Amino acid sequence: MSPRPAGVEDAQWRDWTWQMRERIRTPEALARYVRPTEDERRAIALLGERFHFVITPYYASLMDPDDPDCPIRRQVVPRLAELTDPSGVADPLDEVAHSPVKNVIRAYPDRIAFCVNNECALYCRFCLRKRMVGDEEWTMKRRELEAGLDWIRRTPEIRDVLLTGGDPLTFGDDRLAWLLEALRGIPHVEIVRLGTRLPVTLPFRVTDALCRMLETYHPLWVNVHFNHPRELTPEAAEACDRLLRAGIPVGNQSVLLRGINDDVATMQALCEGLVRMRVRPYYCYQAQLLEGTAHFRVPIEDGIALFRALRGRTSGFAIPLYVLDTPHGKVPLTYPHVRGREGDHVLVETWDGTPWRELNPERSGGGA
């Protein structure tokens, strides 16, 4: 880890507004934390405008200054490899086509993702929404947020609303409270979820005042996005703890990333570290066929083998569900532990490969 720069007081460092103002946007600013390689410098120059290069000082302080393959650094510092991927597309989940109004994405009958802003504390190089995050065109004006809320009011099937973005916690407390108040005023909205990476990338955003406000809008759930055990810092643990103490269940959604978390030991350390923080590993996503991200993608067979290997090695609830997101919803990518049937027995395979025959009579013909 890099130390925080000389001259920065603890109070400044822990002030989330200071962190947002002082975000790193140039190779020169990055050089206060790491020694950028020539590849990184050129990639920042060539890619900075296409997909913004922005990092919080806090997250930069987690980087290894001398190792360009540092798993923190690789998530947020551009590489020239982003320019040589011919395979990806801009919107692999066809989210624009699934939007009845701007930034409301509906892939299921009863729930939506509502992208309430286009701003994040930093920009992850593998971001599914890199087509919109940091892009002015996707800024949500107040009247556009109202249009999304109106659509939800007029659509009584929607019982579950995920506020995402960008990152909804980059809003100030007042704006977020206004949005939550409006959603809570819609009788058919049973639960609200927040998808945020700020507890990972800017944990000081999770203030006591924010949590006091959030807990007035229950039932509220939060999903965070840790990808590597090195992100599980005391500051991040405190942020999650504040959310949990406000009565908010916290789950984690990670992305399987080549060279970052695609080996059993790293994934196990991540999941067990999350559980120690009382954060439930929920999903691990297969990285999408997204432009500029081929160097991050892991073959699905390798992902299935990885999560197969975790089974039996750690607590069941420490193992997230490995999923592929598609324009038609999520698909679990699981090892087939059920191996077939022999007469009245179903054949299964236990965690250590032991075959087991479970008596399970065939369905009788007449039953419902």
**Residues lying near ligand SF4 in the complex (CB under 6 A):** 120, 123-124, 127, 129, 133, 165-167, 197, 225
Q: By C-beta, is 102 or 357 nearer to ligand SF4?
A: 102
**Are 165 and 133 in contact, with CB atoms under 8 Å apart?**
yes
Minimum CB–partner distance for residue 133 and ligand SF4 (Å): 5
Secondary structure (3-state) at 330: strand
Please give the span between the terminal C-alpha atoms of the chain, in angstroms, as a whole number. 61
Minimum CB–partner distance for residue 115 and ligand SF4 (Å): 9
**Are 152 and 104 in contact, with CB atoms under 8 Å apart?**
yes
Minimum CB–partner distance for residue 7 and ligand SF4 (Å): 28
Minimum CB–partner distance for residue 167 and ligand SF4 (Å): 5
Q: Rounded to whole angstroms, how far apart are CA atoms 329 and 311?
A: 25
Q: By C-beta, is 70 or 124 nearer to ligand SF4?
A: 124
Minimum CB–partner distance for residue 195 and ligand SF4 (Å): 8
As to burial, measured by CB atoms within 10 angstroms (0-12 exposed, 13-18 middle, 19+ buried), residue 160 is middle
Q: By C-beta, is 79 or 308 nearer to ligand SF4?
A: 79
Report how far apart, in Å, the C-alpha atoms of 144 and of each of 30, 91, 118, 151, 333 are. Answer: 35, 21, 13, 11, 36
**Are 348 and 338 in contact, with CB atoms under 8 Å apart?**
yes
Residue 358 token pair: 């479970």
Q: Rounded to whole angstroms, how far apart are CA atoms 62 and 109?
A: 41
- Bridge partner list, 286: 256
Q: By C-beta, is 225 or 308 nearer to ligand SF4?
A: 225
**Are 220 and 192 in contact, with CB atoms under 8 Å apart?**
yes
Minimum CB–partner distance for residue 165 and ligand SF4 (Å): 6
Which pairing describes strands 280-286 and 321-326: parallel, antiparallel, or unpaired? parallel
Q: By C-beta, is 129 or 205 nearer to ligand SF4?
A: 129
Q: By C-beta, is 290 or 318 nearer to ligand SF4?
A: 290
**Are 70 and 266 in contact, with CB atoms under 8 Å apart?**
no
Q: By C-beta, is 20 or 309 nearer to ligand SF4?
A: 20
As to burial, measured by CB atoms within 10 angstroms (0-12 exposed, 13-18 middle, 19+ buried), residue 279 is buried
Minimum CB–partner distance for residue 104 and ligand SF4 (Å): 16
Q: By C-beta, is 287 or 318 nearer to ligand SF4?
A: 287
**Are 122 and 54 in contact, with CB atoms under 8 Å apart?**
yes
Q: By C-beta, is 227 or 266 nearer to ligand SF4?
A: 227
Secondary structure (3-state) at 208: helix
Which pairing describes strands 104-105 and 111-115: parallel, antiparallel, or unpaired? antiparallel
Minimum CB–partner distance for residue 122 and ligand SF4 (Å): 7
**Are 262 and 302 in contact, with CB atoms under 8 Å apart?**
yes
Minimum CB–partner distance for residue 338 and ligand SF4 (Å): 34
Minimum CB–partner distance for residue 169 and ligand SF4 (Å): 10
Q: By C-beta, is 47 or 310 nearer to ligand SF4?
A: 47
**Are 69 and 34 in contact, with CB atoms under 8 Å apart?**
no
